[in-house]
Structure 1
Amino acid sequence: MTARTKNASSTRVGLISDTHNLVRPEALRYLAGCDAIIHAGDICNPAVLEALMKIAPVTAVRGNNDIGEWAASLPTHARLTVQQVTILVAHDIADVLADPHSEGIGVVVTGHSHKPSVSERDGVLFVNPGSAGPRRFKLPVSAGMLIVDGAHATARFDSLLT
């Protein structure tokens, strides 16, 4: 799925995950101009969140590699509403409710697998922006964009490196 062109009523939410203590300049450029940012875990250092907060407000969850005192304050799940769309954020898709639609969730954002994907199931948009951190195996280095316009959301992921 691809996002529509931004208009006055749409909200751009940057999606990033699995940075593993690496803030790539390509990721910062990609997220520039977003209204908000979601980090789906495996941050590994609070400096990553500080860099993202210079761009836009950040909602972040704790991943399996986020340890130590700084990470203890991060939730394992976050729920936020953008316009009329409720978004659930969790690091691992295995930790997501069996039927998010029944809970009023319109979008689920996860990370962990390092595999970028966008799919829709039972009226819920599932987005994994992939990993914006160190390259893992032959998987792409990527981030995503969620565009919310009223009660409608579209998403895409993009490679950060060519």
Structure 2
Amino acid sequence: MNNVSVAIISDTHGHLDPRIIDIIRECDYAIHAGDICGEDVLAAMQPRSAIVIAVAGNNEPRCMVGFPLPESSELALPGGKICIEHGHEHGHHTPSHESLRQRHPDARVIVYGHTHKMVQDKSANPWVVNPGAAGQTRTHGGSSCLVLTAGNEEWAIQEFRFAD
């Protein structure tokens, strides 16, 4: 199987940066790691396969009433799988990567959001990554996302940040 690409975003809080929409359209799949706060955000996510995986963030109960989302999800890819959750249950201000690794030991990559801060922790397996905030709220220097390229052997992650 050929390499596949996955756009990874989080923490849009009702607004998805149009530059990130363009990145998503170039990818095979898209992941949203919670705090979506608007069905229009999910509708704007249009990867090539039309497959979007989204999980609930801690703000979903009040901003997406009647639109249930799972607390965690998975995406099987060549060479492994991605596990996705918002991360707020693993420590409020700084989710524990060790706790995430214990919950998802069979993942190749674990995606979380919540902190609005971009992180790539490749110090142990599985990798633990956070795409930062893809909207306008607490972007820490600009809206951001990650793109994972997955093949049977090699996986790589590219960072994107757009100045406010």
TM range (shorter): 0.7 to 0.9
Q: TM-score, normalised by structure 1?
A: 0.84
How many pairs are equivalent? 152
Superposed, which structure 2 residues align to 1:10-89 within 5 Å? 10-53=3-46, 56-67=50-61, 68-70=65-67, 72=68, 74-89=69-84
Q: Cα RMSD over matched residues?
A: 2.1
Task: Output the CA distance in 1 between the equivalents of 2:129 and 2:157.
Answer: 7
Moved more, 38-47 or 76-85: 76-85
Q: TM-score, normalised by structure 2?
A: 0.83
Contact between 2:12 and 2:137, CA under 8 Å: does it hold in 1?
Answer: no
Task: Output the CA distance in 1 between the equivalents of 2:137 and 2:78.
Answer: 34
Match of 1:99 among 99, 102, 117: 102
What is the SS of the residue equivalent to 2:122?
Answer: strand
Query: Could you list the runs of 4 or more consecutive aligned residues of structure 1 that deviate by over 2 angstroms after TM superposition?
Result: 53-56, 95-101, 137-140
1:156 offset after TM fit, Å?
Answer: 2.5
CA separation of 1:64/1:28 partners in 2, compared to 1, >3 Å: closer, same or farther? same
Gaps in structure 1 of 5+ consecutive residues:
1-7
Contact between 2:86 and 2:112, CA under 8 Å: does it hold in 1?
Answer: yes
Identity of aligned residues (%): 32
Q: Do residues 147 (structure 1) and 149 (structure 2) align?
A: yes
Match of 1:90 among 56, 60, 85: 85
